[in-house]
Amino acid sequence: MLQETLRNKYEMVIGLEVHCQMKTRTKLFCSCPNNFGDPPNTNVCPVCLGLPGALPVISREAVTLALRAALATNCTVHEISVFSRKNYFYPDLPKGYQISQYDRPYATEGKVEALEADGSAKTVRLERIHMEEDAGKLLHEGYPWSKDQSGVDLNRSGSPLIEIVSKPDMRSPAEAHAYLTALKAILVYAGVSNCNMEEGSLRCDANVSVRPRGAAEFGTRAEIKNLNSFRNVSRAIEYEYERQVGLVEAGHKVVQETRLYRADKDETASMRSKEDAHDYRYFPEPDLPPLVISADWRAEALKALPELPSAKRARFVSEYGIPHYDAQVLTLSQEVADFFEEVARGGGNGKAASNWIMTEVMREMKGQKSEDGEVSYSNWPIKPASLAELIRMIDRGVINGKTAKDVFARMWTSGESPAAIVEREGLSQVTDTGAIEAAIREVIDSSAEQVASYKKGRTNTIGWFVGQVMKKTGGRANPKIVNDLVKTALDKA
C-alpha cells in the first residue's frame, strides 16, 4: 500500500477506451452471422476472410446501433465520416489491416453521467466514438492439435465494434468503475450491445498517468490491456498508479508503453513500447465511400431510444417517492428497473417495493453472482406480481413484517404465491384482540417478577412482555395491537 503522503502528493489521471461489440444480426461489412460461441470458422465468407477481390458493404443495422450509442451518450454525430485502413500484422487479421475510423469518426464530444457508490456524481466527457471491425481470435487450447499448434477462429473477424474513447477525466479507480457501470447501463438500455465482459462483448483498455497535484500538465501515460472485468480495471489502475509514483519518486521517468494486466499476480507488465499512429500507416479505405448519416436517420434513431438510466432515475424519485440512492441502484439494470416498477405499481407502495428489492431481493440475487462479480438479473425466482401481493398483504395487516420475511424466503425457494403460503401454513396475523388478551394474561400471570419491576417504574420491561406475547402467538400477532394491549394490561395488573 502506498503511503498516504505520496497519495496526497500525486494525482492519478485515467482515460478509458472501451470496445463494445454491437448486437447486429450480421457482421459489419458482410452478411455472415454475428454470433458468439458457434463452432470455429463456420461464420466466414470471402469478405471477412480477407480474400483478394472481395468488397466490403456496410451494414445499415450496425450504423443504426452505433448511432443510438452516440445519441445516448450525448455525442455530436457527424453527417459525413470516413473509414480508414489501420495496417498491422497479426495472425488473427487475414487482410493485414483493420477497417476503422481514424481522423473523421462519426461521433465526437459526448458525456456520461457516472454515480459513485457513495452517491457523488461525476461527468466523464467523451473524446469520440468510432466504428470498426473486430479481428479474429487465436485459440491456444481445447482442440485436437492444440498441444503444439495455435489455431485461428475467424468467426469474430469483421464483427461490428464501436470504440468509445473518454477524455482523461477520471481521478480514481472508483470513478473509473462508476463510469464503466454507467456506460454499460446506457449501452444495454439503448439496445446496442449486451456488454458481456466474459464473452468479450465489452473490452476496456485503461490509460493511466500520474502528476503532482496542482500540476497543469498531464504525465506520460501507460495503456493497460487485457482487463476482463470491472474489478480488474480498478485493480490494474491502482497497481499502475503505485508503480508510476514509485518511478517518479525514485527520479525515473514513466515511459509511454502498452502494458498487460496479469490478474493472477495482480500486476502489470510491459508488453510493447507504444506504437504511434504513423506505425499503422492509416489511409482512407478505398473500397468504401464516406459514410453519410442523414438528419432523418439521426432523428429516427433518437425517437427509437428508450428511456435512459438517468431519466428513469429522476422519474423513479418523483413518481414513487424513493430516495435518490435507491433509484440509482434500481436503474443500473433494465431488468431490475422493470421488476421494481411492476412491484411498485402492483403493490401500490413504491417505498416498500424499493426496500424489499434493495435488501431481500438483492441479497438473494447476489448468491447467483458470476465469477467476475456481476449479477445476472434475467432469472428471477419470483414474479413481481407475487412480491407486490406480499406488500399488499403487509399493508392490509394480513401478515406482519416478521412473518413477511419468512414468507418471502419460502416464495424464493418454491416460487409459490404469498397468499398460498400464508393460507397453508396458517400464518395470517392475529388481530383478534380476544386471543391476544388471553396470551397477555397468561404471560402476566407467570411473570410476577417482571410485573413488579414494571410497577417500580422500569417501563422498558414492556418490550420484554411484547416479546413473550409474540412468542406465544408464533410471531403472528399484530405487534402494534400487542404493544397497546400489554401496556393497558400492565397498568391494570
Residue 35 contacts residue 208 (beta carbons within 8 Å): no
Closest C-alpha to 56, from 277, 296, 298, 291:
291
Does 221 contact ligand ADP by CB under 6 A? yes
32 binds, among ligand ADP, Zn ion, Mg ion, none (CB under 5 to 8 A by kind): Zn ion
User: Which of the choices Mg ion, Zn ion, ligand ADP, none does residue 416 contact, using the CB cut-off of 5 to 8 A by kind?
Assistant: none
Stretch that binds ligand ADP, among 115-123, 147-155, 159-167, 352-360 (CB under 6 A): 159-167
Scanning 11-19, 36-44, 95-103, 378-386 for contacts with Mg ion by CB under 5 A, the matching segment is 11-19
Does position 30 interact with Zn ion (CB under 5 A)? The reply is yes
- For position 124 contacting ligand ADP by CB under 6 A, the verdict is no
How big is the site for Zn ion, counted in residues (CB under 5 A)? 5
- What are the grid coordinates assigned to 127, written together? 473524446
Q: Does 32 bind Zn ion (CB under 5 A)?
A: yes
**462 CB burial (10 A radius; 0-12, 13-18, 19+):** middle
| Residue 209 contact, options Mg ion, Zn ion, ligand ADP, none, Cβ 5-8 Å cut-off depending on partner type | ligand ADP
- Closest of 227, 171, 185 to residue 204, by C-alpha: 227
Least distance from Mg ion to the Cβ atom of residue 293, Å: 24
- Between CA 35 and CA 21 the distance in angstroms is 11
**Which of 200, 154, 161 is closest to 47 using CA atoms?**
154
State the binding string over 5-34 for ligand ADP (x if CB under 6 A, else -).
--------xxxxx-----------------
Q: Could you tell me which of 297, 304, 36 has the C-alpha nearest to residue 153?
A: 36
With CB under 5 to 8 Å by kind, the binding choice for 200 among ligand ADP, Mg ion, Zn ion, none is none
Count of C-beta atoms within a 10 Å radius of residue 363: 9
Q: Which residues pair with 207 in a beta bridge?
A: 15, 223
Q: Which of 36, 300, 231, 40 is nearest to 144 (CA)?
A: 40
Q: What is the dihedral of CA 327, 329, 331, 334, to 10 degrees?
A: -150
How far apart are the C-alpha atoms of 316 and 350, rounded to whole Å? 9
* Single-letter residue type at 145: W
> What is the rounded distance in angstroms from the CA atom of residue 19 to the CA atom of residue 160?
10
SS3 content of the chain, % helix, strand, coil (to 5): 40, 20, 40
Q: In the complex with Zn ion, which residue's Cβ is closer, 32 or 469?
A: 32
Letters for 178-207 (x = contact with ligand ADP by CB under 6 A, - = none) are -----------------------------x
List 12, 16, 48, 93, residue binding Zn ion (CB under 5 A): 48
Q: Which residues pair with 99 in a beta bridge?
A: 85
**What string marks each residue from 17 to 36 as x (binds Mg ion by CB under 5 A) or -?**
x-------------------
Q: Which of 20, 30, 99, 165 binds ligand ADP (CB under 6 A)?
A: 165
Q: Does 62 sit near Zn ion (CB under 5 A)?
A: no
Based on CB atoms, which residue is closest to Zn ion, 47 or 365?
Answer: 47
Residue closer to ligand ADP (CB basis): 63 or 208: 208
- The CA–CA distances, whole Å, from 400 to 422, 467, 474, 475, 488 equal 11, 14, 12, 9, 22
Residue 380 contacts ligand ADP per CB under 6 A: no
Q: Is residue 98 a contact residue for ligand ADP (CB under 6 A)?
A: no
CA distance 131 to 163: 6
56 vs 418, beta carbon nearer Zn ion:
56
**Least gap, CB of 275 to ligand ADP (angstroms):** 8
DSSP single-letter state for residue 281: T
In 3D space, the residue among 126, 130, 224, 220 whose CA is nearest the CA of residue 169 turns out to be 126
Q: For Zn ion, what does the binding mask look like between residues 164 and 203, x meaning CB under 5 A?
A: ----------------------------------------
CB of 11 closer than 8 Å to CB of 212: yes
Q: Please, which residue, 162 or 444, has the CB nearer to ligand ADP?
A: 162
Amino acid at 198: E
- The site partner of 173 among Zn ion, ligand ADP, Mg ion, none (C-beta below 5 to 8 Å per kind) is none
Contact between 85 and ligand ADP per CB under 6 A = no
The distance of closest approach from Cβ of residue 74 to Zn ion in the complex, given in angstroms and rounded to an integer, is: 33
Residue 328 CA, chain-centre distance (Å), reads: 11
How many residues lie near ligand ADP (CB under 6 A)? Answer: 16
H helical segments located in 34-170? 46-49, 60-72
- 30 contact, one of Mg ion, Zn ion, ligand ADP, none, CB 5-8 Å limit per kind: Zn ion
263 counts as binding Zn ion under rule CB under 5 A? no
Give dist(CA 128, CA 400) in Å, integer.
54
Binding-residue pattern over the window 335 to 364 for Mg ion, x denoting contact by CB under 5 A: ------------------------------
Q: Is 99 in the site for Zn ion (CB under 5 A)?
A: no
By CB under 6 A, residue 104 contacts ligand ADP:
no
433 in Cβ contact with 478 (< 8 Å): no
Question: What are the residues binding Zn ion (CB under 5 A)?
Answer: 30, 32, 45, 47-48
Question: What are the residues binding ligand ADP (CB under 6 A)?
Answer: 13-17, 165-168, 207-209, 218-219, 221, 223
